[in-house]
Amino acid sequence: MEKQHKLEKVLGDIFSEKLLENLVEHGRIVQIEENTQVISRGDEIKEIPIVLSGTAKVVRTDNKGEEHILFYLNEKEACTATFSICASTKTSEIDFIMETDGELLLYPVKLMDNLTKEFPSWRYYVCRNYNKRMKEFLDTMDSVVFMKMDQRILKYLTKASKALNTKLITITHQEIANDLSTSRVVVSRLLKQLEHEGKIKLYRNRIELLF
């Protein structure tokens, strides 16, 4: 009953009653600590994670071992990359990491086809997640093409702040440089510029947004 109540509270406004019953029967809820890697690149995906609370991040690691954040996931959201894996039966191309403490609903991949066939609210949910990620991708492309690097950094920090629901972001200059495909020296110089403009405050491995 506790699992059913929790799923109804978080997902009841987007999923049908029948679909919630299916998720209660076949899914499992797990509590995940901050910085826990739930899925690693190369893993065989056996369960699809849906965020019930907290914030997760989806990361792509390049051949040099450098991580690049693709997007954040908050309450009610699922990773579209794992949907694609279900369709292609391939191993994971991404890392799925809990950025904060939270809870995930894990649903068996082998039952995913039934959800798509039987529940219109699930199909709508998958499409909505794909659309959101596509908009974020296009937004990122616009930033790369049309924005100067200082604007990109500020937009990057704003996005992280909204995802984590905090003005004080724990992050290094190197992590920002990796995600924006630039050098740490450039990031450090532009962060100092943004601080001088009164838009941010710099601390050791933390940045505070002042707007």
pTM, two decimals, is: 0.78
DSSP 132-190: HHHHHHHHHHHHHHHS-HHHHHHHHHHHHHHHHT-SEEE--HHHHHHHHTS-HHHHHHH
pLDDT bracket for residue 85 (50, 70, 90): low
State the average pLDDT over residues 165-194: 93
User: Tell me: the pLDDT tens digits for 129-164?
Assistant: 889 888 888 887 877 777 899 999 999 999 999 999
CA–CA distance, 82 with 52 (Å, rounded to integer): 16
Residues 132 and 177 in one domain: no
Residue type at 168 in one-letter notation: L
State the residue range of the domain holding 20: 2-141
Residues 109 and 10 in one domain: yes
Instruction: Please say if the pLDDT value at position 88 is more than 70.
Output: no
Residues 61 and 130 in one domain: yes
Q: What is the DSSP letter of 102?
A: E
User: Tell me: the pLDDT tens digits for 19-37?
Assistant: 999 999 999 999 999 999 9
pLDDT higher at 30 or 68 = 30
Q: In CATH, what number is assigned to the domain containing residue 26?
A: 2.60.120.10
CA–CA distance, 96 with 72 (Å, rounded to integer): 10
Instruction: Please say if the pLDDT value at position 109 is more than 70.
Output: yes
CA–CA distance, 13 with 10 (Å, rounded to integer): 8
Residues 114 and 173 in one domain: no
Residues 59 and 160 in one domain: no
Picking from 123, 141, 159, the residue at the C-terminal end of a domain is 141
Contact 163, 54 (CB under 8 A): no
CA–CA distance, 128 with 122 (Å, rounded to integer): 10
User: Domain tally for the chain?
Assistant: 2
Place of tokens 């901050």: 34
